[in-house]
Structures are given as structure tokens and as C-alpha cells.
Amino acid sequence: MKLFNIQKQRWYKSYKVPDSKFGDLVLVPTLNLHNIKGPKKLKSSYVVPLVIVSLQGNNAVQVEFSVELENQHPTFPVSLIKPFKPSDKELFSSDSPTAVTVPPV
């Protein structure tokens, strides 16, 4: 019983309650998606951001796929999805090109 309590405490210490909710953008891994064309080596690790349509308890979410992925099952465990964070526009702005100075040869 002592070992059980130690393992239980260790699990609760590392357990994180998923904070996904309806309408959030998430990334789904392409690991189990088999109809994406092209060599596996060149595939992206995650599908473009998808919208959560519904929550299936605390352990699964249902996402809305685009037309090319509509044959896939839309329910994924929370452990596989990753929250989408848009990039910072100030750090990665393509509007202001930087001047390149070429040193004299």
C-alpha cells in the first residue's frame, strides 16, 4: 500500500489537466494520418491549426478537418494535440525588408 501511495503522488505531481476548450486552435500530429501524400521524411510534424468542435469528456477532443483530410476520424486524445500559438508579428514581420550591406571586395 505504501508503494501505491508513492506512485499515486508521483502521478498527480506530473499530471496536467488539459485546458482545451471549444473553438480553440490546436495542432494535430501527422503520425497517424495516412492519406497525406508525399514522402514521410518531408511531411510536416503537425497538421495546420484545426478548430476544436467538441470536447469528449476530459480525455478527447473532436476537430474539424479540411476537405483533403475529411476521411480521417476527427476525434483525438488530448495527449496528442498541441495548442496553436501564432507567431509574433514584430519578430517575424515580412513587411519591412532589411537592407543588406555588401562589404567591399
Per-residue model confidence as pLDDT tens for the chain (105 residues): 899 999 999 988 887 777 888 888 999 888 877 777 777 788 888 888 889 999 988 889 999 988 877 888 889 888 888 889 887 776 666 655 666 677 786
pTM (predicted TM-score):
0.66
Q: How far is 83 from 41, CA to CA, in rounded Å?
A: 24
- Tell me, what's the pLDDT at 46? 86
- Tell me, what's the pLDDT at 12? 85
Residue with cell 519591412: 96
- Beta carbons of 49 and 83 less than 8 angstroms apart: no
Q: How far is 26 from 44, CA to CA, in rounded Å?
A: 15
Domains in the chain (CATH in brackets) are 19-105 (2.30.30)
Query: Within a 13 Å sphere around the CA of 57, how many CA atoms are in the beta-carbon half?
Result: 6
